[in-house]
Amino acid sequence: MGSVSITGRSTGTVTAALLAAVLATAGCGTGPNAEAAPQAGGPSSAASPSAGPASAVPVPDTLRFTGTTLDGAAFDAATLAGRPVVLWFWAPWCATCASQAWTIAEIEPGFREKVPIIGVAGLGERKAMTDFVTEFELGPMPQIEDRAGAIWRRFEVVEQSTFVIIDRDGRVIHQGWLDGEDLTRRVTALAA
């Protein structure tokens, strides 16, 4: 089972700064090669989309959570600070989620650097989640495993498929369902 941690303001800032320092020293998790080739037989994700130095951008409360991706990588939402972000809350058995997955798989690569789309998988078993990611070719985008529902509760998500759109200042500017056309329009506007 993946782990999720939601930290307070001062602890999160210190944790993000320490994580950035460790990653910079180790030379991993950032830079042009951070998104390695997907592993054979399973979904892959960029666990820490590069957002520049953690100390340069204050981390809003909305992005003070961590987790584990479906492929086992650590994920820290603080790395997204300073950019608009789309959180997509989905379940592997959800027909609506499946219909939206094709749109997300199509648009996500073009917006990955400016408006990251992050999947938050819940309400299902891990194998079903990984099968969903493989079937809909969502492997390159981060997919957080949230079977315990900690991130779902944090954002008060009570049904799938729900999109939470966070602006670059950390404010939630949309929460709810979106069709593919509306999602594409909103993400395109945020990237401008």
- Residue range 154-181, pLDDT digits in tens: 999 999 999 999 999 999 999 999 999 9
Q: Tell me the per-residue pLDDT of 118-141, one tens digit each, with 9 for 90 and over.
A: 999 999 999 999 999 999 999 889
Total tally of structural domains belonging to the chain? 1
Residue 93 binned pLDDT confidence (cut-offs 50, 70, 90)? very high
State both tokens at 41: 């037989």
pTM exceeding 0.85: no
For 15, the enclosing helix (H) or strand (E) is: helix 9-26
For tokens 């993946």, what's the residue?
A: 2
Q: Answer whether residue 110 shows pLDDT above 50.
A: yes
pLDDT, residue 13, reads 34
> Is 85 among the domain residues?
yes
State both tokens at 4: 């999720």
For residue 45, give the amino acid letter: S
pLDDT, residue 38, reads 29
| CATH number of domain containing 131 | 3.40.30.10
> Is 97 among the domain residues?
yes
Mean pLDDT of the chain: 79
Strands 162-166 and 65-68: unpaired
> Is 57 among the domain residues?
yes
> Is 27 among the domain residues?
yes
Residue 1 binned pLDDT confidence (cut-offs 50, 70, 90)? very low
Strand order in the sheet with 143-145: 143-145, 117-121, 85-90, 162-166, 172-176
Q: Tell me the per-residue pLDDT of 14-42, one tens digit each, with 9 for 90 and over.
A: 333 333 333 333 333 323 223 322 222 33
pLDDT, residue 57, reads 85
pLDDT, residue 56, reads 78
- Domain that residue 166 falls in: 5-33+43-191
> Is 38 among the domain residues?
no
> Is 145 among the domain residues?
yes
Residue 143 binned pLDDT confidence (cut-offs 50, 70, 90)? very high
Residue 55 binned pLDDT confidence (cut-offs 50, 70, 90)? low
